[in-house]
Structure 1
Amino acid sequence: MSIPGKIFAEINKALGIKLISKAGEKTLVNVATMMPFIGSVIGGTVNGVMMNACGHGVIAFIHAWNRL
């Protein structure tokens, strides 16, 4: 007893859609749980670059102020 090709294709299509949606759902959940960590790394990097730039600006200002 074997399953006819047409019915087998319909079963595969239905199961494939369910499997792909499950995998996509898990991937989306994993990405959503990683977002805060990714955001904190990006935010920390931007903060560090800006503080470095501000620090160099303050040092340049102090040196210019002392020359007056």
Structure 2
Amino acid sequence: GKYRMIAFLVPNEKSDKPLYDFVVSVDSIEKMTGIDFFPKMDDATENSLEKSSDYKAWSFN
């Protein structure tokens, strides 16, 4: 099928900001944590998805 992924970096503090303000790429979270979250995904798909921080295909209600 078609894969999608999204990541959020949310500070541990009160905020009235919308959720989409905290969207970041999975790559950025992996670099900060040293964790490869999708090690079994083929590299071409993984690299393409992980670099994106596009949230427009997601609904935040």
User: Normalising by structure 2, what TM-score?
Assistant: 0.19
| Larger Rg computed on CA atoms | 1
Q: Looking at both structures, which has the greater relative contact order when contacts are Cα pairs under 8 Å and sequence separation is at least 6? A: 2
Q: Identify, as 1 or 2, the structure richer in strand.
A: 2
User: Normalising by structure 1, what TM-score?
Assistant: 0.18
Q: Identify, as 1 or 2, the structure richer in helix.
A: 1
